[in-house]
Amino acid sequence: MNKTKIGLGMGIVLAVLALLTASATADTYFYLVPQNSSCGPSESVLVSVVIHTDRNDIGSAQAHIDFDPTVVNITNMVEPTDKNDWDMWDWLHKGNYVFVHANEFGGFGPGEIYLGNMTLKCINPGVSPVEFTHPYPQTPDPTAIGDTLGEFVSNSGINGTFTCTAPQETYSKDLVEGWNLISLPLTADDMTV
């Protein structure tokens, strides 16, 4: 046998395998913008749910997003029509999680695909995880991505946090002109005069 033909044939086989492997390992994942958010009591902040993909055939997406309702509440979610206009879109509030799901019959991608914009409202001081949970096929309401043919697309999620800050403590004291010897009933961020 000709060694050149064998070498060339092996090279072609390896090149085809490399192409197939590259497309099979393309990253598709959910993430939040901003990943970590915060606000004060009775305030709200907007957080986007985004999908990153190297594919061009994303036809459906759904996310199960857990949070701690004693710290934060997701009071609203809207379709980000300025980024992606899904053919079908809806969301549900389930107490300690929200579920958003959408379909695009023509397919989206590659790049960043916006699934929804959530309004997070501070309830009580503390830190809450904001997590993509229940990966398909877990129930109820699994986190999943599908292509335009309805086939499951392997994916992952990058979780975030929400911090509800405590109200700022204040203290005031009248001082007379000249020297005053005082002490404060709290520790300030900056204790210099």
pLDDT, average across residues 158-180: 86
pLDDT tens, residue by residue, 49-107: 999 999 999 999 999 999 999 999 999 999 999 998 999 999 999 999 999 999 999 99
Is 12 inside a domain boundary? no
Q: Tokens at residue 73, please?
A: 């509440």
Find the domain containing 73 and state its range. 27-164
20: in domain: no
Give this prediction's pTM. 0.76
Tell me: pLDDT of 8 over 60: no
15 assigned to some structural domain: no
Is 48 within the bounds of a domain? Answer: yes
Beta strands 58-66 and 156-157, pairing class:
unpaired
CA distance 193 to 191: 7
Residue 143 lies in a domain: yes
Share above pLDDT 70 across residues of the chain, in percent, rounded to a whole number: 82
Asked whether residue 61 is assigned to any structural domain, the reply reads yes
Q: Which CATH number does the domain housing residue 89 bear?
A: 2.60.40.680
Say if 62 falls within a structural domain.
yes
Is residue 90, in this structure, part of any structural domain at all?
yes
As a whole number, mean pLDDT of residues 14-40 equals 70
Count of domains forming the chain: 1
